[in-house]
A and B are shown apart, each in its own frame.
Chain A
Amino acid sequence: MTQAPDNPISHDAVRRAGRWVFATGVTVLVLWVLVPIWLLLANALSAPAEVTSFPRSWIPAFDTASLAFFFGYGGVLDALWNSVQVAVVTMILAIGLGAPAGYALSRFDFPGKEAFRFLVIMTRAFPLPLLALPLAVMFIRTGIDDTIIGLALVHATLALPFAVLITFSLFSGIPVELEEAAWTLGCTRFQAVTKVVLPLAAPGIAASAVFAFVISWNEVFAAAVLTIQNRTLTAFLLQSLDVSPLHLKFAGGAVLVIPALLFIFAVRKYLFAMWGIANR
């Protein structure tokens, strides 16, 4: 604001050029993300013969036969509902267990802190398909095999490290002075957290919750092994898609992607809701 332009015209030109570059950059990035999605959806709406023709058309014939196949597929709605339940429970578990840990890591200095952080991350560095066998044995023995909770426990294990790390960096970014101010105003430690810190951290927590949701939504292997009657949508559809005919691949892909898109869309405002009242 206080810059003193000695040559206002060229400065304006630079500005305009800068804005143009910016707009182009945004457009390119938006297209980069959207075009592949469009290709998926367009093909899901194409007739089978169209999908295997060459050159392929970018505008579909709006043939809903392939999509309709999935909606008529036995049990798809149950599977969808199971997926939502598992994902929601996963979200709650991951944040409920992860946020306190993230808070502790950001606010206290204590022996073992770095080790904990490190070990939590490392739980993500091991291939789940191998862990599925001992987990399945344990679940069958304890009777939580083939339950929503059982699968959510496994998914929460996958999501928990993300939740811990994201909440850790979030809480680290919130000045501890704000909390201290709240204490001087008579808040207990707990109240200071719920009334001052959590509102500030809410967008990030929402982001990490979305994350947990999506991790659960897209997880195939554990879901395929650990659920039988309560199949999730991914276990139900995705693992057989790669061997299905092309038009069904696209339609099935779309059936899986659309709910996830809608969910992110539904929570998109939480990613920004608290933006305006953050600490500035």
Chain B
Amino acid sequence: MTTYILKRILMLFPLMLGITLITFTVIHLAPGEPVEMQMAMNPKVGKDARERMRKFYGLDKPLHEQYVTWVGRLVRLDLGTSFSPDNRPVLDKIRERLPVTLSLNLIALLLEFGLAVPIGILAATHRDTWLDKSITVFVFIGFAVPTFWLALLLMYFFGVKLNWLPISGLHTLGSDGYGTFRYLWDLAKHLIMPIMVASFGSLAGLSRYMRSTMLNVIGQDYITTARAKGLSERTVIYKHALRNALLPLITLLGFSIPGLIGGSVIFETIFAIPGMGQLFYQGAMSRDYPVVMGILVIGAFLTLVGNLVADVCYALADPRIRQGG
């Protein structure tokens, strides 16, 4: 078990190197130079200023040297400063946005798992009944519905028609003056629609997955044994089958990490939520390379580590692997 974990940790290093290589390549697919883009937006900047910029970002050096300096700074957690007029360090920007996106998505994720597990179990235990079939239809619609369209429809009904919920941002203007309770209530109202949109699509996939693992487990011999020795169906399903059916969810949790960070572009843009998705989108649109590179690398690193943690948890939770490895 320890050897397994150690091996996996050692494996992180080449993978991280690969991540930086791909990020670097992606950015350098660009025609022209980032500095030119920045200058184009501000015609007052003269030629020598442009040269200084080039020097500052190391753009006058050959590619491999640029890569090495970039990785060198990355190791020291220096992601550079943004090209945008505020000129702030990228790491600060990310630090400010990451909690918004992460907490929003974590709530959505909890909601997804909390709903998907019972839905999946229901579908599996009522296989081929009308219940299972209507869940399946719901699940397929969830797969196919474009999130931004869902967001638009919700905005139309709850925001415009019924005027129940605010349609953008996280706070009402002037909410700083509210009392604690009213402030939180205001925040919660702003979060309802984004969270609904964020969780709906994945809910479909998760509950489908839960259904199939549950069916798989129910078909195994030990379940037949449990039934044969006269245990109630309740005990068989919730005590014997469920424990094994829940295991693969750990891996799935690992897989959902890139979505935690990257899946938010659409709804953050639509609902004007100041999170990572919005930051990345704005960065990409204005060719703010330090921001784009920083978020790509950080997002991929977090995923890598998350996957590792998920795999280790899986191994710890499953005695068949724990004792075998």
Co-assembled chains A and B: no
Please report B residues at the A interface, Cβ cutoff 8 Å. Answer: none
